[in-house]
């Protein structure tokens, strides 16, 4: 995944759609734009992203395919219609028989069967939901960068605790 024009060839790209559950408002605009982009209709039932609200206290969570490296959906598919290429898990529409094994296998519930074709659909990282999200809660990140960012923020926290040690 090219993040800000930086291509790190020595790392396997691991793009991931992430949401900030404090920013997400549960407005479901991502679902509207997803079904519009892929099917030219407005229909959360046909969207490849789900939105869930937990109460007390409220968190809103948008979930989409995580493009797992060792994808359970791909392993479960009886006709080998699911494969991983360029960091993304893809369903081959021609091969898919709509059996639903991948839906059962996915631990996140990110696979669903399209109400019209009956075939499996998942997020293809087109990025439109990110572009449209009203509170800017969605991002496509490289999972490796997420880790690096956490390394730095943890280090910064520690630095504040032990100023003398860092200064010397």
Partner 1 sequence: MKAYAGKILEVDLTTRKFSHIDTKKYAKDFLGGRGLGVKVLYDSVGPQTNPFSGNNVLICSNGPLSGTSAPGSSRTHFTFKSPLTGIYGYSNAGGHFAAELKYAGFDAIVVKGKSEKPCYLYVHDDVAEIKDASAYWGETTFSAGDKIMKDLGERYAQIFAIGQAGENLVRISSIISVGNFTEGKAAARCGGGAVMGSKKLKAIVTIGTKPVEVAEPEKFQAEVDDMIETLKSDKGSAETAPMFGTSFLVRSLGANGALVTHNFQLGKFEFEEAISGEEMREKYLWKAQGCYGCWNRCCRYVVIRSGPFKGFAGKGPEFETLSMMGSNVGVGRLDAIIKANELADAYGIDTISGGSVIGFAMELYQRGILTKEEVGGLDLRWGNYETVLELIRQIAFKEGLGKILGEGVKIASEIIGRGSEKYAMHTKGLEHIGGDPRGQTGFTLGYVTAPRGADHLGALPVFEYIGKPEEGIKFFGSAEAANRFGVKGKGRLVKWQEELMAIEDSLGTCKTHYSHFSSTFTKILKLGFEKQSRLFSLATGIELSPSQLQKIGERIVNLERAFNVREGITRKDDSLPERFLKEPFKEGGSAGRVVNLEPMLDEYYEARNWDIRTGIPKREKLLELGLDFVVDEIRAPA
Structural contact between residues 77 and 93, judged by C-beta atoms closer than 8 angstroms? no
Nearer to partner 1, 34 or 102 (CB): 34
Nearer to partner 1, 74 or 121 (CB): 121
CB of 33 to partner 1, least distance (A): 6
The least CB distance from residue 22 to partner 1, in Å, is 5
- Output 13 or 44, the one with its CB closest to partner 1: 44
The dihedral sign for the CA sequence 131, 36, 86, 66: positive
Q: Which two tokens stand for residue 58?
A: 């409220």
Exposed, middle or buried by CB within 10 Å (0-12, 13-18, 19+), for 137?
Answer: buried
- SS3 letters across 58-116: CEEEEEECCCCCCCHHHHHCCCCCEEEECCEEEECCCCCCCCCHHHHHCCCCCCEECCC
CB of 160: closest distance to partner 1 in angstroms?
A: 24
Nearer CB in complex with partner 1: 27/143: 27
Shortest gap between Cβ of 124 and partner 1 (angstroms)? Answer: 19
How far is 95 from 60, CA to CA, in rounded Å?
35
When the beta carbons of 56 and 151 are compared against partner 1, the nearer one is 56
State the minimum distance, in angstroms, from the CB of residue 35 to partner 1: 7
Strands 82-85 and 88-91: antiparallel
Site for partner 1, rule CB under 8 A: 22-23, 25-29, 32-33, 35-36, 39-46, 53, 55-58, 60, 115, 132, 134-135
């Amino acid at each position: 995944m090219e993040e800000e024009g930086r291509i790190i060839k020595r790392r396997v790209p691991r793009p991931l759609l992430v949401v900030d559950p404090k920013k997400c408002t549960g407005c479901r605009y991502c679902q509207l734009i997803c079904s519009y982009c892929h099917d030219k209709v407005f229909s959360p039932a046909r969207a490849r992203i789900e939105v869930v609200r937990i109460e007390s206290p409220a968190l809103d969570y948008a979930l989409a395919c995580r493009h797992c490296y060792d994808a359970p959906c791909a392993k479960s598919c009886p006709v080998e219609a699911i494969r991983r290429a360029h960091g993304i898990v893809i369903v081959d529409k021609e091969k898919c028989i709509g059996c639903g094994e991948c839906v059962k296998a996915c631990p996140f519930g990110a696979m669903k069967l399209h109400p019209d074709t009956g075939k499996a659909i998942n997020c293809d990282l087109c990025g439109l939901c990110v572009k449209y999200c009203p509170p800017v809660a969605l991002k496509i990140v490289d999972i490796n960068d997420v880790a690096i960012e956490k390394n730095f923020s943890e280090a910064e926290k520690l630095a504040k605790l032990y100023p003398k040690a860092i200064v010397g």
